[in-house]
Structure 1
Amino acid sequence: MNTDAVSLPVAGWRILFGRRTMLTVGVSILLFFLVVAIAAPLIAPYDPILQDGSARLQPPSFLHPFGTDNFGRDILSRIIWGTRIDLQIALIGVAFPFLIGTLVGTIAGFFGGVVDALFMRIVDIILAFPFLVLMLSIIAILGPGLGSFYIAMALVGWVSYARLIRAQILVLKNSDYAVAAVSLGFGRMRIMFRHLLPNGIAASIVFSMSDAVLVLLSGAAVSYLGLGVQPPVAEWGVMVAEGQSFITTAWWITLFPGLSIVFLAFGFSILGDALGEMLGVHE
């Protein structure tokens, strides 16, 4: 997956402010959404799925700061509860590809030869298909739902991490400390996971922040298409899809969940950029 488009919005921020400020802002944004997700039952003013026919399509007001939708549900409450789902999508959707890709890339880079060729051919086959098309095909086969989305992300998203880790391991396994570890008779597992991987994983950690943005947007897009989170569950992509028919008359239905997606994505982007500067990793 190409991360250039993700890094562009934060390039100006990097010029205007230092990496310490960027790190603080990124962490603060993510902590804010994490607190909102944890405290959702306490801070949401209404039940997110409670319908009120007498309050349909009300604009932002004191009672409903973000307005109501076509079913009379409070938009603010649905956004607060939706934070749980979308934050979960970003974190879990990255975790499984990260773990699978790290394992595959480490093994392929360390052993080389036939093992490396086999894994890299699998990577080439997956990369031959457009990411979104392949992901949607897998979800269509498995059926709509968040579980299908996670499986699709795990099956498709690991290749980027595998290539990153493999490239790092290929370089590090010829370093002095790796050669010394072999000379001392250390086992392969110890060399791979205690000596090489900790020194080569920085690039993947930085990439995971940008990848979280892409996973978040993919999750919202899949839900928008009706293949992800299913109504009436409060999820930002679902809310945008539900409000598209009222975009000219009730703009608040799509605006506020859309802004929530943007701000959470911005937090991951800023944090990833700051980590890249601190760790000396350039994507």
Structure 2
Amino acid sequence: MKAARSTLARGGWRMSFGGGNVPLYLGMAIIGTWFLVALLAPVLAPYDPILQDATARISPPSLDHLFGTDNFGRDILSRVIWGARVDLQICVFGVVFPFLIGTFAGGLAGFFGGWTDSLFMRLIDIVLAFPFLVLMLAIIAILGPGLGSFYLAMALVGWVSYARLIRAQFLVLKNADFVQAAVSLGYGPLRVMVRHLLPNAILGSVVFSMSDAVLVLLNGAAISYLGLGVQPPTAEWGIMIAEGQSFISSAWWITAVPGFAIVSLAMGFSLLADGLGEVLGVKE
């Protein structure tokens, strides 16, 4: 426990006074900006994101429509702003569920070992035997399109990375002196795992979750692009790219603007992961 506190204390000091962690601050700025845009979407969006205007179809960027309009006459800027809400939700829930499941499974496997470890490792081998995206598509195809199916597919497939990280840390730390001292004092397995092992083992998973958010964002956009995720006319960046692919040579802005939004948010999470890794002394 003291080891975790000292690590966090050093990390907090370096983050507050180090002044040289550019990736951390830049990543926080990018993600914070997108969260602010999503929060203020009703105020910032100049038009209704699903309002169609037949007289303004495929209009190039102008003073009336700063980023132009799509093939239905909908304002691209408004749809990107409202789409930030959906894509940020995808990043958050697409990471949280696998994180929780993987942490629970990896902690049990690493702490108890034996048949518990063998069971979870065989489950991990089964999941890893299939390509990630193919397995996700199969699960979503069975459950039906929608965000709920996407989150469940991410949870069923994405937990293995977190489980392997936590398991490896538990296997190393459970033989440490401070853990053996807690066991000698008669503390139960639950307390030892939650109070002593988890705070020291979870830092690597926290850093990895920031990088994983990039994969979740890209998978969410890909699933929506294929018509299995968010359904039209909801504003979502993957859907916008899919709708604009037929006009990419004549109306580049329909796909370029949401594409830039995806790239910028993914870059923000990637920079944040690098910055957190440096602050917490964790190598991915």
TM class by shorter-chain length? over 0.9
Q: Which residue of 2 aligns with 1:68?
A: 69
Q: Which residue of 2 aligns with 1:27?
A: 28
Moved over 3 A (4+): none
Q: How does 1:58-137 map to 2 (within 5 A)?
A: 58-137=59-138
Supply the distance in 2 between the matched residues of 1:250 and 1:19 (Cα, whole angstroms): 42
Q: How does 1:231-242 map to 2 (within 5 A)?
A: 231-242=232-243
Q: Which residue of 1 aligns with 2:10?
A: none
Q: Which residue of 2 aligns with 1:12?
A: none
The answer as to whether partners of 1:23 and 1:271 remain within 8 angstroms in 2 is yes
Q: In the TM superposition, what whole-angstrom CA distance separates every residue of 1:25-47 from its partner, at most 9, and x where no partner exists?
A: 11111110000001001110000
The answer as to whether partners of 1:206 and 1:275 remain within 8 angstroms in 2 is yes
Supply the distance in 2 between the matched residues of 1:210 and 1:238 (Cα, whole angstroms): 23
TM-score (norm 2): 0.93
Supply the distance in 1 between the matched residues of 2:226 and 2:93 (Cα, whole angstroms): 20
| Structure 1 letter corresponding to 2:239 | V
The answer as to whether partners of 1:19 and 1:278 remain within 8 angstroms in 2 is no
The Cα of 1:20 is off from its aligned counterpart by 1.9
Q: Which residue of 2 aligns with 1:213?
A: 214
TM-score (norm 1): 0.93
Q: How does 1:28-67 map to 2 (within 5 A)?
A: 28-67=29-68
The Cα of 1:194 is off from its aligned counterpart by 0.6
The Cα of 1:99 is off from its aligned counterpart by 0.3
Identical counterparts, % of pairs:
71
The Cα of 1:280 is off from its aligned counterpart by 1.4
The Cα of 1:19 is off from its aligned counterpart by 5.1
The Cα of 1:53 is off from its aligned counterpart by 0.2
Question: How many residues end up aligned between the 2 structures?
Answer: 266
Per the alignment, in what secondary structure is the counterpart of residue 223 of structure 2?
Answer: helix
| Structure 2 letter corresponding to 1:90 | C
Supply the distance in 2 between the matched residues of 1:135 and 1:23 (Cα, whole angstroms): 31
Unaligned runs of 5+ in 2: 1-18
Q: In the TM superposition, what whole-angstrom CA distance separates every residue of 1:77-135 from its partner, at most 9, and x where no partner exists?
A: 00000000000001110000000000000011000000000011000100000000000
The Cα of 1:248 is off from its aligned counterpart by 0.3
Supply the distance in 1 between the matched residues of 2:20 and 2:223 (Cα, whole angstroms): 33
The Cα of 1:166 is off from its aligned counterpart by 0.1
The Cα of 1:21 is off from its aligned counterpart by 1.7
Q: In the TM superposition, what whole-angstrom CA distance separates every residue of 1:205-254 from its partner, at most 9, and x where no partner exists?
A: 00000000000000000000000000000000000000000000000000
The Cα of 1:281 is off from its aligned counterpart by 1.2
The Cα of 1:155 is off from its aligned counterpart by 0.4
The answer as to whether partners of 1:78 and 1:234 remain within 8 angstroms in 2 is yes
